[in-house]
Structure 1
């Protein structure tokens, strides 16, 4: 029994480790940019391009990884993703010019896109229904730990302006993931579809009680009987509305302001009058808050409805952004008080995001989609997520330079209000239901709507 527990813990640890790499590569560039400029000249446009090139790669990575995981398996694809992380990190660390930087970030982006599509699917399919929220949230926790780790590395190498060490150290967790994935089991739902019922049963028994195993096997078989091929399910009229909802949900998570903070917090703090090292130290504080609040979210996410959490988060994030904009207009950015107001308000934003939208998205996305096309559909939603992240990364420096930081965060606040109405009106509740129950309800609901049209 003890060995079984260790095995279970390792399954979810290595299953979520791709999220750590995503977080590290997302956060490390924020500090590295302060020093890359000293070796490789950057304009506001090329600065945005260095940041956003990773997101361009992520668009392709998320778009292709979903269908590939449905065909070849989640485990095999994660192994290949770890190799791509290693290659991209080494290219970045050795970059002699802007072009090499962009190529390295593009390659990293392919792996990032793959991890955003596959990691939540794997965790969701491996987790028991009663703890799917907390275990699915491990992806977000790993992302926040990756971001915090990158901030700590940035701070450690700030005095020597060692940006090559900052970006290159991503090789370490990449190698750990590469080794760890060898010992991970394949998703039971993929095994049922591509291998055998017995193979799926063996993997389920690692994380379920015997009675739960038989119940889930029966549900999976029933759903599999009425399922078509992946591409037929993806193009079906009954899935299309849910796919659109999933894509909009993912897009909103990226354009409500979080990426402006993650990518450009040191730059914002630096422009507010804090020194390079102090600016990076400020981001370490924000990263630490992000991790602590996400851990708390894991403890309660299976006890509170997903939609309720999202609504609470929206209200808190919008309020913190409006407060930030008003205080900046009143006090100004140039004063030391203004700098610390930015730190306080952005930290408050992080608290509400990490408690709600951060983990809940990664839990709900794979919950929304049917077994036969879960990887591909989650990949499409991750593609929308990458597009949103790309837009923020590329245009935030230019828009904030033209309008001012306060006005830009007011725009994010308006987007947050739109996201609030979207959650209330369009997003279904998924807590406390098995993946098969959610899929069956999706089919019934869509069939009923089609019948009403006839």
Structure 2
């Protein structure tokens, strides 16, 4: 039995290495915000083509998210993350040498498959690998690494802005990809995967090393024994409470995207360029967004296990809605007015702060906690598909909507969707703080079975 100090060190090591997947996720989604300013003129791209190249990563991510959970169930969470790191390396290098819009789009799609798979499997790995008491902080470390990755992308873009070298901007993602693959090779898989593959002794040993109680280990083994012999799709179709629970997790994934966070992440430089900032200065505005994201996410990481997931998510959504309404008014008047342009950037920063301190970490965490153990692979995949599908829609249609309706009207649409998301969370999402994954699943089972009987 590991001592408490040994368990804490082990959990931190495991969490930091696995969270390199979040760093890659953040870098590859953030790097296009600056690189696009140089790729577009070089290839003579239209706004629709710019949206297409950006969103193809998200098409691949939807595929990766849908398949990543099943692959992780089949070959293990650890092996899936190693393969994901290798694909990151290959996709990044392909992006760097792409010579046409079609080639870049294809490379971004391959990269997206790795992004989507890793975005699901890292929270799955972490939520299954650490004790309930610290699960919020450790799983949310992945979200912190996402915004750190985005900040690194913004800094790289800014450092290379004077050269216009978008090839290097995109290719540098190969470095953390290699680090993820190598680091995961030295870590074990999770107790849940070992229980699924009938290695109870190994499950107990890994769980004990992480400081989990014997009760948590027994619940994991018992839950998988109860589901023995039934396929996950069969279990999902035949059990109303299971598919309703997965549906709630999928809606939570959509909630992360419906207020348009990635419209700001992907297109903040483009938006600021449209109201009069120079191309180089527009790239630099991403650093502001990135710094705010990292600080806010770090704050969220410190409080999520104390405040609770549900309360934090509701507060973040409400600040999002208010910020979007203000932004709709201010940005619409900002063209040719430097003061209003600067105010628009400040409001964007407030919006990003509430998103990264509250909405993003709680949604990723809740998805990893809510999906029941017996349909873990399929359920996480479906929730990830919903999240990445919403992300794709924002990336693909944001700039065309701005051209068609105006930026102000588009921000008001996001605000309305944010209000709908707030209402859903109030009614359907319970608090999961400090509870084992099995206990969370049992709460949903009782809720939906009671609703069926009534």
Same fold by TM-score greater than 0.5:
yes
Distance 1:221 1:229 in 2: 17
Kindly indicate whether the alpha-carbon contact (under 8 Å) linking 1:69 and 1:376 is maintained by their aligned counterparts in 2.
Answer: no
Determine which of 393, 396, 399 is the counterpart of 1:394: 396
Q: Which runs of 4+ in 1 moved over 6 A?
A: none
Q: CA deviation at 1:83?
A: 1.1
- Residue in structure 2 matched with residue 437 of structure 1 by the alignment: 439
- Residue in structure 2 matched with residue 446 of structure 1 by the alignment: 448
Q: CA deviation at 1:450?
A: 3.1
What do residues 196-226 of structure 1 show as CA deviations (whole Å, max 9, x unaligned)?
1110011112210xxx431112222332232
Determine which of 79, 91, 95 is the counterpart of 2:94: 91
Distance 1:234 1:116 in 2: 22
- Residue in structure 1 matched with residue 61 of structure 2 by the alignment: 58
Kindly indicate whether the alpha-carbon contact (under 8 Å) linking 1:36 and 1:163 is maintained by their aligned counterparts in 2.
Answer: yes
- Residue in structure 1 matched with residue 172 of structure 2 by the alignment: 169
With over 3 angstroms needed to count, the CA separation of the structure-2 counterparts of 1:436 and 1:3, relative to structure 1, is: closer
Distance 1:332 1:38 in 2: 25
Distance 1:156 1:332 in 2: 27
- Residue in structure 1 matched with residue 216 of structure 2 by the alignment: 216
Q: CA deviation at 1:5?
A: 4.7
Q: CA deviation at 1:38?
A: 2.9
- Residue in structure 2 matched with residue 238 of structure 1 by the alignment: 241
Distance 1:437 1:193 in 2: 18
What do residues 424-454 of structure 1 show as CA deviations (whole Å, max 9, x unaligned)?
11112211211111122222333333333xx
Distance 1:276 1:184 in 2: 44
Kindly indicate whether the alpha-carbon contact (under 8 Å) linking 1:296 and 1:355 is maintained by their aligned counterparts in 2.
Answer: yes
Distance 2:217 2:85 in 1: 31
Three-state SS of the structure 2 residue aligned to 1:165 is: helix
Q: CA deviation at 1:165?
A: 0.6
What do residues 170-194 of structure 1 show as CA deviations (whole Å, max 9, x unaligned)?
0000010111010111011110120
Instruction: Give the CA RMSD over aligned residues.
Output: 1.4
- Residue in structure 1 matched with residue 106 of structure 2 by the alignment: 103
- Residue in structure 2 matched with residue 183 of structure 1 by the alignment: 186
Distance 1:3 1:134 in 2: 18
Kindly indicate whether the alpha-carbon contact (under 8 Å) linking 2:82 and 2:184 is maintained by their aligned counterparts in 1.
Answer: yes
Aligned length: 448
Q: Which moved more, 1:94-103 or 1:431-440?
A: 431-440
Three-state SS of the structure 1 residue aligned to 2:99 is: coil
Which structure 2 residues correspond to residues 318-397 of structure 1 after superposition, within 5 A? 318-329=321-332, 331-397=333-399
1:9 matched to 2:9? The reply is no
Distance 1:349 1:122 in 2: 29
What do residues 79-127 of structure 1 show as CA deviations (whole Å, max 9, x unaligned)?
1111111111111100111111001100011001101211111111112
- Residue in structure 1 matched with residue 430 of structure 2 by the alignment: 428
Q: CA deviation at 1:240?
A: 1.3
- Residue in structure 1 matched with residue 45 of structure 2 by the alignment: 42
Which structure 2 residues correspond to residues 232-311 of structure 1 after superposition, within 5 A? 232-235=234-237, 236-311=239-314
Kindly indicate whether the alpha-carbon contact (under 8 Å) linking 2:10 and 2:210 is maintained by their aligned counterparts in 1.
Answer: no
Q: Which moved more, 1:105-114 or 1:212-221?
A: 212-221
1:122 matched to 2:125? The reply is yes
- Residue in structure 1 matched with residue 225 of structure 2 by the alignment: 225
Distance 1:424 1:3 in 2: 39
Distance 1:225 1:442 in 2: 19
Determine which of 139, 143, 146 is the counterpart of 1:143: 146
Q: Which moved more, 1:431-440 or 1:148-157?
A: 431-440
Q: Which moved more, 1:171-180 or 1:269-278?
A: 269-278
Distance 2:213 2:31 in 1: 42
Distance 1:244 1:108 in 2: 27
Distance 1:283 1:187 in 2: 37
Kindly indicate whether the alpha-carbon contact (under 8 Å) linking 1:118 and 1:379 is maintained by their aligned counterparts in 2.
Answer: no
